[in-house]
Amino acid sequence: PASAAPPPAAPSSPRTPSSPAAPARSMALLRLRHRELRDGIVAGRSEAVARQHRLGKRTARERLDLLLDEDSFTEIEMYRRHRGQDLTARDERPYTDGVVAGSGTVDGRRVFVYAQDFTIFGGSLGESHAAKIHKVMDLALATGSPLIALNDSGGARIQEGVTALDGYGGIFRRNVAASGVIPQISVVLGPCAGGAAYSPALTDFTFMVHGTAQMYLTGPDVVAAVSGQRVTHAELGGAEVHGSRSGVATFVHDDEESCFADLRYLLSLLPGNNLEPPPDGPPRGAAGDLRPRLAEIVPVEPNRPYDMGEVVAELVDDGEFLEIGEGWARNVVCALARIDGRVVGLVGNQPMVLAGALDAAAAQKAARFVRFCDAFGIPLVTLVDVPGFLPGTDQEHSGIIRHGAKLLYAYCEATVPRIQVIVRKAYGGAYIVMDSRSIGTDVSLAWPTNEIAVMGAEGAVNVVHRRELAAAEDPAALRARLVREYTERLVHPHYAAERGLVDDVIDPVETRAAVARWLAALADKRAAQPQRKHGNIPL
Ligand code: HXC
């Protein structure tokens, strides 16, 4: 075991092992040490590695190889190991202490990363392990580079007691200090239990892999002891659960390869920090790009469903976009993409799910996305087709007022360029919330067929003309006439345009071109906020 070897000679120049000045014995030791580090030589580890592979998992270094550009990784504190006093189970002191940390590039752009190694103490976090994570987080923040955490850990190292808990606290505090300054991305590739789950929860995006990733505060055994409920790890906190029900996971993948491919794609759309512009690509001539399919995708009938994802695909460069939180709160679509080379965040109601109505989950998902885009200077394009908030006791009792207010708050405080496109209908409070003029959108565009009003014509007539309808000889005929009149007078975009609430009523085919032109016009937008410690967003 590594613990039997003497401490390594101070490697004055580890990058030049053939230096003629270095004594041969020191160099031999250095090479041995590097090999131990590279291969993580610890008694019994080869079986642990084989087990990792059997489960479809990789070791920390294999994951870094998959994520980073070839030969780009430079490592911190590779010799670090635990102090040894408190470990009673075994006296091994493997180098790395179960986490490999450092910096590398992804498509040539700098990132800082740490990868927990489940093959060493189950990736559990003790004092040394935590200190390395703290250091790499500090370096990410100091250099303004994204931080990526590859989690695969049994949690707090039981043998190290409260020092392990102290280590977690240091991670959480740094997650919060870095929030909105550098993008922070968590990748859960194995267990991530107990308080450990709070680091991913504090970061901007969380990836999980089906079958191997688990997140929960208390495991199945505790659940059974406390409530008698029998539940598997996957049922309690697998990728499926967090990707579709809790909203904890932003991205869910079938395997580590596709997970890292999407992570690289995500990074290609993000700036390194909040002072850097997003990584725009070359302009694509979108200002003259007409899209006839847009008019075909969206049915004129206000209640016929269609896929807002298809609208997004028509608007963005090459039809390519990265959907954020695809499996959860599917009644709202959030996506990162480029329009005419510029990185944008798109938020759209999804008429295929709950008719596109906003509910508590959709409001939370969109609010968090809007705040992310605003923090990192990514312009917002909001595609509106919303019948309103989802009615019902379920929603009211679950706090739709509180959650809807999050989205309202997020838009109200966003200072990035904001473009609203009203695609088909925009009713009531949901119209206001979906980045209307009144809450500060910079530009509002509407398709000519759309409906903007307090409520649909039928509902409006029933409320306003209740007495006349009750007294009418032919209520059906009267209702039809009143609905027609109401629709012609109030429920069209020109009514809003005449009042300055819509800047332009456009042919749907011109939408990509119009959005691209406005993104160019708003690119240098600056907006100051009054000084305060922080607002008090309804949580
Ligand atoms: C020390 C640990 C460990 C831990 C795992 N290991 N978790 N060592 N501290 N927390 C070790 C095991 O002893 C084992 O060592 C090796 O890692 C692999 O673990 P296995 O149990 O063989 O793996 P597996 O069957 O896949 O089970 C994985 C597991 C299980 C579900 C994560 O290990 C487990 O339940 N671990 C304990 C989880 C836990 O209670 N953690 C503390 C949570 S509280 P050997 O030598 O046998 O190979 C917490 C508080 C954080 O984290 C608070 C922050 C605020």
Task: Find the residues whose C-beta lies inside 6 A of ligand 1.
Answer: 121-122, 124, 154-159, 165, 168, 191, 193-196
* Domain endpoint, select from 267, 301, 324: 267
Residue at 534 is within a domain: no
Q: Is residue 535 part of a domain?
A: no
> Each residue of 79-134: pLDDT tens digit?
899 987 655 555 688 889 999 999 999 999 999 999 999 999 999 999 999 999 99
Q: Render pLDDT for 128-176 as a digit per residue (tens, 0 to 9).
A: 999 999 999 999 999 999 999 999 999 999 989 999 999 999 999 999 9
Question: What pLDDT shows up at residue 13?
Answer: 45
Distance 362 CA to ligand 1 centre (A): 35
- The answer to whether residues 180 and 320 belong to one domain is no
- 339 neighbors 317 (Cβ within 8 angstroms): yes
Q: Which residues are catalytic?
A: 194-195, 429-430
CB atoms within 10 A of CB 208: 30
Decide if pLDDT at 205 tops 50: yes
Task: Check whether residue 463 and residue 496 sit in a common domain.
Answer: no
Provide the pLDDT for residue 19.
61
464/33: higher pLDDT = 464
Q: How far apart are CA 298 and CA 490, in angstroms?
A: 22
Q: Mark whether 118 and 141 lie in a shared domain.
A: yes
329 and 206 in a single domain? The answer is no
Tens-digit pLDDT profile for residues 293-350: 999 999 999 899 999 999 999 999 999 999 999 999 999 999 999 999 999 999 999 9
Contact predicate 118/57, CB 8 Å: yes
Q: Does 342 lie in the same domain as 393?
A: yes
Asked whether residue 95 falls in the same domain as residue 119, the answer is yes
Residue 537 covered by a domain: no
In single-letter form, the type of residue at position 180 comes to G
50 CA from centroid of ligand 1 (Å): 18
Exposed e or buried b per residue across 121-152, where buried means at least 16 C-beta atoms within 10 angstroms of its C-beta: bbbbbbbbbbbbbbbbbebbbeeebbbbbbbb
Let me know whether 98 and 8 are in one domain: no
Instruction: For residue 85, tell me if it sits in a domain.
Output: yes
CA–centroid distance, 128 to ligand 1, in Å, is 17
186 lies in some domain: yes
Count Cα atoms within 13 angstroms, Cβ side, for 260: 18
Which residue's C-alpha comes closest to atom 4 of ligand 1? 157
For residue 30, the enclosing domain spans: 1-39
Query: Do 100 and 138 lie in a common domain?
Result: yes
More confident residue, 39 or 312: 312
Residue 507 has pLDDT above 60, yes or no: yes
| Domain CATH for 51 | 3.90.226.10
Determine contact, residues 119/40, Cβ cutoff 8 Å. Answer: yes
Residue 526 domain-assigned (yes or no): no
**In testing the pocket of ligand 1, which one of 88, 91, 116, 121 has its CB within 8 Å of the most ligand atoms?**
121
Q: How far is the CA of 370 from the centre of ligand 1 (A)?
A: 37
Question: How many structural domains comprise the chain?
Answer: 4
Taking the C-alpha atoms of residue 538 and residue 118, their distance in angstroms, rounded to an integer, is: 38
Residue 334 placed within a domain: yes
- What DSSP string describes 75-90? EE-TT-----SS--S-
Whether 52 and 118 have beta carbons less than 8 Å apart is answered as yes
Going through 223-320 in order, the beta strands assigned E by DSSP cover: 251-253
SS3 529: coil
Q: Which of 447, 429, 433 minimizes the C-alpha distance to 502?
A: 447
Q: So what's the ipTM on this one?
A: 0.97
Whether the model clears a pTM of 0.90, i.e. scores above it, the answer is yes
Q: Which long-range contacts (CB under 8 A, 24 or more apart) does 524-527 make?
A: 525/415, 525/416, 525/417, 525/442, 527/415
Any domain includes 527: no
Q: Residue 528: its pLDDT value, please?
A: 85
Do 1 and 32 have their domain in common? yes
Question: Which tokens is 300 given?
Answer: 């004129």
Same domain for 118 and 69: yes
User: Are residue 256 and residue 127 in the same domain, yes or no?
Assistant: yes
| pLDDT top residue among 459 and 5 | 459
Residues of the chain above pLDDT 70, percent: 94
Are residues 448 and 303 both part of a single domain?
yes
Is residue 321 within 8 Å of residue 336, measured between CB atoms? yes
With bands split at pLDDT 50, 70 and 90, how would you rate the model's confidence at 15? Answer: low
